[in-house]
């Protein structure tokens, strides 16, 4: 049976990236404290307890999924912006975009008796149209113990370059056993799935994922965190959830109003009251960056 590589919280990002590129997934042990996890759960458990079980086998009929976490939890906001995770996003995603974005926030609770989830790739959210590149980097933070017994995530290390039609054999799979405060970091291309919870307790994980800025987000952050809520956030987090241009000519809008009341084309940041960001479709530097990347890849 293969094994996932474990890294200490102070390991060099370059070492982690090398392992992610080779295996598709790693575990960073105890990246945040158990006190931080307890504080986060105090904020989010009421929402989790009110969430309904899934309505289909893939979602999990004994699994709850709780989203919209940017507006619900300070602790989640801190994990979204964790420097170690963002450094890995920089290294993996910026080769294919000018800016990456928050793709999804979701607390996944496997109740006792929940069976194995279908093994899949997360990038199938966009169908199979992105087989030529890596569109996302994902995390599952352990909010409880992750064990073989309670359904720790099942992963096929090294499966990132497999054909979409291939399914792993049992001997090619391993489980992401880890302690609370640890995090599974994995690509959108690696085959994986939720495990079988054969224990008497819940397995609780926080799924935070990041994607190329020119792709549609899985969780619509503009509806989960509309401008009146997003105005209260840190500017870096505002940009991560999408209140920024994705690159040149990508993401501008026209504010509603009577003739002449508002500029015709502005950055999404304009909706947060940042009136100085009323440039049209981006800067000349943004356009040159996109062109340069195209030339470099040809």
Mean pLDDT over 209-229 rounds to 97
Rounded Cα gap, residues 82 and 22, in angstroms: 23
Listed residue (104, 289, 124) closest to 193, CA to CA? 124
- 1 pLDDT band (50/70/90 cuts)? confident
Which pair of tokens denotes residue 60?
């999990």
Rounded Cα gap, residues 101 and 136, in angstroms: 9
What's residue 279's pLDDT? 57
Parse the chain into domains and list their residue ranges. Answer: 5-212, 245-297
Length of the chain in terms of residues written? 298
What's residue 276's pLDDT? 66
| pLDDT > 80? residue 156 | yes
Mean pLDDT over 8-18 rounds to 98
Mean pLDDT over 127-154 rounds to 97
Mean pLDDT over 268-274 rounds to 91
Angle at 53 between CA 49 and CA 57, to 5 degrees: 155
CATH fold group of domain 5-212: Jelly Rolls (2.60.120)
Listed residue (83, 182, 189) closest to 133, CA to CA? 189
């Amino acid at each position: 049976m293969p094994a996932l590589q474990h890294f200490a919280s102070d390991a060099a990002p370059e070492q982690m990236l090398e392992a992610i590129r080779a295996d598709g997934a790693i575990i960073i042990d105890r990246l945040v404290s158990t006190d931080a996890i307890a504080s986060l759960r105090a904020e989010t458990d009421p929402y989790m307890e009110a969430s309904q079980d899934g309505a289909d086998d893939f979602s999990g009929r004994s699994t709850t999924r709780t989203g919209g976490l940017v507006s619900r939890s300070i602790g989640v906001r801190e994990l979204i912006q964790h420097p170690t995770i963002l450094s890995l996003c920089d290294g993996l995603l910026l080769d294919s975009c000018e800016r990456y974005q928050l793709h999804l926030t979701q607390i996944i609770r496997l109740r006792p008796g929940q069976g194995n989830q279908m093994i899949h790739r997360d990038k199938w959210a966009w169908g199979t149209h992105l087989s030529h590149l890596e569109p996302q980097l994902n995390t599952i933070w352990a909010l409880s113990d992750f064990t073989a017994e309670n359904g720790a995530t099942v992963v096929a290390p090294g499966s990132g370059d497999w054909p979409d039609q291939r399914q792993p054999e049992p001997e090619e799979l391993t489980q992401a056993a880890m302690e609370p405060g640890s995090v599974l970091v994995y690509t959108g291309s690696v085959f994986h799935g939720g495990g079988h919870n054969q224990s008497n307790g819940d397995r609780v994980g926080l799924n935070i994922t990041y994607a190329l800025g020119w792709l549609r987000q899985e969780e619509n952050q503009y509806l989960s965190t509309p401008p009146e809520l997003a105005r209260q956030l840190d500017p870096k987090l505002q940009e991560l959830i999408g209140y920024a241009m994705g690159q040149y000519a990508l993401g501008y809008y026209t504010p509603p109003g009577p003739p002449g009341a508002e500029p015709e084309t502005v950055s999404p940041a304009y909706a947060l009251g940042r009136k100085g960001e009323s440039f049209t479709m981006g800067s000349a530097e943004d356009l040159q960056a996109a062109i340069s990347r195209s030339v470099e890849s040809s």
